[in-house]
């Protein structure tokens, strides 16, 4: 079976920056909300302490240009009227760029200097919980994320907290799961016999080392690897199909029968470089390529094309990934990525991997890329 990654928890589908920016306008008192004119919104920004500086910085944060946010925010840190907001902004920025230790004092400042009913406090707690999780302080993480959820300030932040409670394994549903740590993983087993656990862990550890020979990644923490016994339970609790990874948080949720390498490759590859833009073709193709199975992907693709009487072009799949069925795209992408790696080598591939668009491929691989694509299409479209 081809693994699928769909639903709520797929990485990069959630853009907290954009959410918070609009939320800061939404959390005015009801009287303000009723009068929807630009002028009034502008007035409310002033009267509720929002400043143009802050406005611009949140916009910049929304565009994920984190280094620039830090550079532009720091000179304003002594400005008392926006200090709480700036600390929240900087805390979130450092957390999103995976500098979790640096993020914590900024977030703590906001937590300690805002009232309980403030969305600022709730977001700071939520992010603090995420940072503690990444530093493997699991009890602290659980405590502050639950505190964030219990504050119940706004829908967005409560949803953020609840998604982390589910994703991080803090929901009561997980309370009987068995946690076992190994060198690179912290496994959570829904139900598995001890002897099976031992061989399960051994095979995942071997796969990790094997895959990381290529990527040479340094992960910020062990991979929290949730091994579900029941796909139905996962669907009911998480509202999504297994398996999936959240690479930023080094998390995998997988059914015990799924491929050994696919989801962990999402996590490992994510930390091989500074990720700028992912595409389905390259990101999924990479995980299929390293899934540690011996599937004859070429045959699967050729059979599909024959049975459906179709020919394909890589450029269209690259830009319109979601228009094609997974049973074609996953093996096809795996084959294509293997072709890139075989032709251009590890170093160039990882250089390209951070920005997985065709344009960047062209600039890293040069003119040879189009010839490779052409040959690949001729080979597949017979």
Q: How far is the CB of 28 from Zn ion (least distance, A)?
A: 41
Q: How far is the CB of 72 from Zn ion (least distance, A)?
A: 35
d(CA 240, CA 221): 25
Q: Based on CB atoms, which residue is closest to Zn ion, 23 or 284?
A: 284
Q: Based on CB atoms, which residue is closest to Zn ion, 5 or 23?
A: 5
Q: How far is the CB of 301 from Zn ion (least distance, A)?
A: 17
Q: How far is the CB of 173 from Zn ion (least distance, A)?
A: 24
Q: How far is the CB of 321 from Zn ion (least distance, A)?
A: 12
DSSP assignment string, 15-76: -HHHHHHHHHHHTS-HHHHH---HHHHHHHHHHTT--HHHHHHHHHHHTT-HHHHHHHHGGG
- Cα 269-133-69 angle, rounded to 5 deg: 70
Q: Which two tokens stand for residue 18?
A: 């954009």
Q: Based on CB atoms, which residue is closest to Zn ion, 270 or 287?
A: 287
d(CA 92, CA 66): 10
Residue 102's CB: how many other CB atoms inside 10 A? Answer: 15
Q: How far is the CB of 189 from Zn ion (least distance, A)?
A: 22
Q: What are the angstrom distances between the C-alpha of 150 and each of 23, 157, 161, 171?
A: 19, 11, 9, 13
Q: Which two tokens stand for residue 41?
A: 């919104």
Nearest-CB residue to Zn ion? 5
Q: Based on CB atoms, which residue is closest to Zn ion, 104 or 268?
A: 268
Which residues in the chain belong to E strands, given as ranges? 178-181, 185-189, 223-228, 244-246, 251-255
Q: Based on CB atoms, which residue is closest to Zn ion, 73 or 289?
A: 289
Residues near Zn ion (CB under 5 A): 5, 284, 287
């Amino acid at each position: 079976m081809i693994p699928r990654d769909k639903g709520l928890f797929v990485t990069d589908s959630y853009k907290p920056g954009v959410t918070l920016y609009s939320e800061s306008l939404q959390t005015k008192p009801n009287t303000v909300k009723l009068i929807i004119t630009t002028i009034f919104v502008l007035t409310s920004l002033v009267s509720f302490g929002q400043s143009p500086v802050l406005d611009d910085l949140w916009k910049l944060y929304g565009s994920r240009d984190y280094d620039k946010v830090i550079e532009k925010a720091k000179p304003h840190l002594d400005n008392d009227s926006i200090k709480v907001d700036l600390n929240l902004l900087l805390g979130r920025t450092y957390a999103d760029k995976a500098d979790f230790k640096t993020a914590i004092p900024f977030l703590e400042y906001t937590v300690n200097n805002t009232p309980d009913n403030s969305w600022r406090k709730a977001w700071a707690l939520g992010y603090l919980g995420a940072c503690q999780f990444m530093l493997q302080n699991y009890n602290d993480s659980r405590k502050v994320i639950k505190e964030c959820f219990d504050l119940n300030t706004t829908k967005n932040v409560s949803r953020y907290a609840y998604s982390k409670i589910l994703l991080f394994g803090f929901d009561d549903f997980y309370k009987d799961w068995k946690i076992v740590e190994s060198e690179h993983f912290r496994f959570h087993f829904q139900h598995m016999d001890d002897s099976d656990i031992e061989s399960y862990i051994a095979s995942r550890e071997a796969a990790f080392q094997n895959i990381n020979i290529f990527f040479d990644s340094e992960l910020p923490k062990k991979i929290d690897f949730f091994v579900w016994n029941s796909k139905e339970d996962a669907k009911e609790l998480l509202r999504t199909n297994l398996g999936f990874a959240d690479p930023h948080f080094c998390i995998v949720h997988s059914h015990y029968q799924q491929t050994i390498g696919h989801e962990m490759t999402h996590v490992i590859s994510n930390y091989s470089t500074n990720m700028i833009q992912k595409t389905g073709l390259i990101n999924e193709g990479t995980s299929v390529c390293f899934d540690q199975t011996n599937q004859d992907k070429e045959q699967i693709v050729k059979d599909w094309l024959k049975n459906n009487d179709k020919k394909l072009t890589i450029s269209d799949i690259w830009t319109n990934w979601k228009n094609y069925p997974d049973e074609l795209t996953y093996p096809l992408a795996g084959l294509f990525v293997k072709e890139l790696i075989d032709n251009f080598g590890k170093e160039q591939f990882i250089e390209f991997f951070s920005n997985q668009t065709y344009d960047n491929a062209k600039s890293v691989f040069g003119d040879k890329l189009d010839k490779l694509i052409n040959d690949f299409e001729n080979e597949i479209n017979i």
